[in-house]
Amino acid sequence: MKAGRGRLQPHTAAQRGQGRNARLVAVRALLAWQEGQAEFLDDALARSEASLSDDRDQGLARELALGALRHGMLYDAVMDQFLKRSHQPFALRACLRIGCHQLFALDRVPPHAAVAESVGVLRELGLSGLAGVANAVLRRLADARLEERSGPGPLGRLPPQLQPTDLAERHGLPELLIEHLRPVLDQDPSRTLEALNVLPPLCTRTRPGKAQPQGHSIVQREGPWTWWDEPHEALAAVADGLCVVQDRAQGEVVAVARPRPGEWVLDACAAPGGKASAFIDAGCRVVAADHELAKVAQMAEPPARLVQDSARPALARGAFDLVVVDAPCSNSGVLARRPEARWRYQAEALRRLGAIQRALVKAAVTQVAPDGRLLYATCSLAPQENQGIAHTVPGWKVMGERLSWPTAWQSGGYAALLVRC
């Protein structure tokens, strides 16, 4: 069992029950992740969602599992007001969480179905003894649910008397992250933090010279960016070579570097290759490096690829026009997509990441041509990992920077362009 997962209790029910419907698949993925059988919830989902033949069922299973993790602290705080004992098996909490998610976050599931189907999952798992408690709690929550939304997300359907006031519980975020974000939170911290849990629809970037992809599930278009309701449609357009899957936040990072056609770019932390593809599309000649051989092998492009520890680069001294350090980070800007990353937001992990980020930047500056640029980027919102690194590189100054807060259409992240002083 992994540490740092709030007040959740382990349970060995993951091996029991078959993936017979979306709710069961979601709960089994949560149990498998909780028991440490998968590092990422996505991996746990991928293992069991194959049993769902229908795209919509797969989508529901994914939404329920990720939602139960994103809003887990909120749902736990709400259910604890109705549970006699707060120390409960995780299987019960997981079923109650997916029930809460259907009741409060998903408007399309009728409340009676949310209750009955979530309780049914416990029976499927061979835990009928817990079904009575789950049924009683969910029925009371269904009665309390607001008919009319008062705002977005699960809080929008929770009556005020059931809402926790604590920001960490309201948004399922670690106290330490909230403390670190305080300087950038405005007068309405709850509204600002809410954005961290909003999952944007899948986004693609149309490649230069290609026709705009078409599909009935397109929900928004803006320049080369297209947002899709149905991932399989987007992936078909990707397979046709029209576009690549890319978060618009990545486009903003690349724009900060102001890439010019023909210039040499070293992408020092390149896998899986999202930004490398954007630099190629901007006409740059890209060398993509990463320290993981398997990840480098999986990158479809560019042709020049390098397996190296970029903190100890293969070239003693480089002469690249632009060196990109898209550093490993806490992922605090992509928590909606990577909900489990919130539990890794801990002082020791941040200290370790800070050391890696500084080492990568220190080595990267040796690879930049005399009049070249360094692009430092993360998908974090925390100043410690962003300005705290970019503004403290000896002999270098920040020429431009951008902090993108997550929105309904894109994730969050940071980029800074540096030149020699």
Q: Which of residues 356-415 bind ligand SAM (CB under 6 A)?
A: 360
Cα gap 403→419, rounded to integer Å: 19
Question: Minimum CB separation from ligand SAM for residue 222, in Å?
Answer: 20
Q: Which is nearer to ligand SAM, 17 or 273 (CB)?
A: 273
Please give the C-alpha separations between residue 257 and each of 197, 321, 415, 416, in angstroms, as whole numbers: 28, 11, 8, 8
> Which two three-digit tokens encode residue 214?
């078409």
Question: Minimum CB separation from ligand SAM for residue 400, in Å?
Answer: 19
> Which two three-digit tokens encode residue 58?
């797969």
Q: Which is nearer to ligand SAM, 230 or 290 (CB)?
A: 290
Question: Minimum CB separation from ligand SAM for residue 269, in Å?
Answer: 3
Q: Which is nearer to ligand SAM, 58 or 310 (CB)?
A: 310
Sign, Cα dihedral of 22, 34, 78, 159: negative
Q: Transcribe 343-361 into DSSP letters.
A: GG--HHHHHHHHHHHHHHH
Q: Which of residues 191-250 bind ligand SAM (CB under 6 A)?
A: 250
Site size for ligand SAM, by CB under 6 A? 19
Q: Which of 311, 361, 364, 368 binds ligand SAM (CB under 6 A)?
A: 311
Q: Which is nearer to ligand SAM, 184 or 307 (CB)?
A: 307
Q: Which is nearer to ligand SAM, 256 or 270 (CB)?
A: 270
Contact yes or no for 100/75 (Cβ under 8 A): yes
Place of tokens 């992509």: 334
Please give the C-alpha separations between residue 94 and each of 69, 88, 102, 134, 237, in angstroms, as whole numbers: 9, 10, 12, 10, 36
39 binds ligand SAM (CB under 6 A): no
SS3 282: coil
Q: Of 297, 289, 352, 301, give the one whose Cα is nearest residue 325.
A: 289
Question: Minimum CB separation from ligand SAM for residue 257, in Å?
Answer: 12
Cα gap 138→159, rounded to integer Å: 15
Q: Which of residues 107-166 bind ligand SAM (CB under 6 A)?
A: none
52 binds ligand SAM (CB under 6 A): no
Q: Which of 80, 326, 340, 385 binds ligand SAM (CB under 6 A)?
A: 326
Question: Minimum CB separation from ligand SAM for residue 267, in Å?
Answer: 6
List of E strands, 114-253: 202-206, 218-222, 225-228, 243-245
Please give the C-alpha separations between residue 392 and each of 227, 326, 364, 389, in angstroms, as whole numbers: 37, 17, 14, 6
Q: Which of 102, 310, 386, 410 binds ligand SAM (CB under 6 A)?
A: 310
Q: Which of residues 243-302 bind ligand SAM (CB under 6 A)?
A: 250, 269-275, 289-292, 295
Do you find a cis peptide bond into 200, omega within 30 degrees of 0?
Answer: no
Q: Transcribe 122-150 into DSSP letters.
A: HHHTT-GGGHHHHHHHHHHHHHHS-SS-S
Question: Minimum CB separation from ligand SAM for residue 292, in Å?
Answer: 5
Q: Which is nearer to ligand SAM, 295 or 358 (CB)?
A: 295
328 binds ligand SAM (CB under 6 A): yes
Q: Which is nearer to ligand SAM, 14 or 375 (CB)?
A: 375
Question: Minimum CB separation from ligand SAM for residue 420, in Å?
Answer: 23
Question: Minimum CB separation from ligand SAM for residue 92, in Å?
Answer: 36
- Beta carbons within 10 angstroms of residue 132's beta carbon: 11
Question: Minimum CB separation from ligand SAM for residue 4, in Å?
Answer: 21
Question: Minimum CB separation from ligand SAM for residue 342, in Å?
Answer: 17
Cross-strand bridge partners of residue 396 = 420
Q: Which is nearer to ligand SAM, 33 or 279 (CB)?
A: 279
List residues binding ligand SAM (CB under 6 A): 250, 269-275, 289-292, 295, 309-311, 326, 328, 360
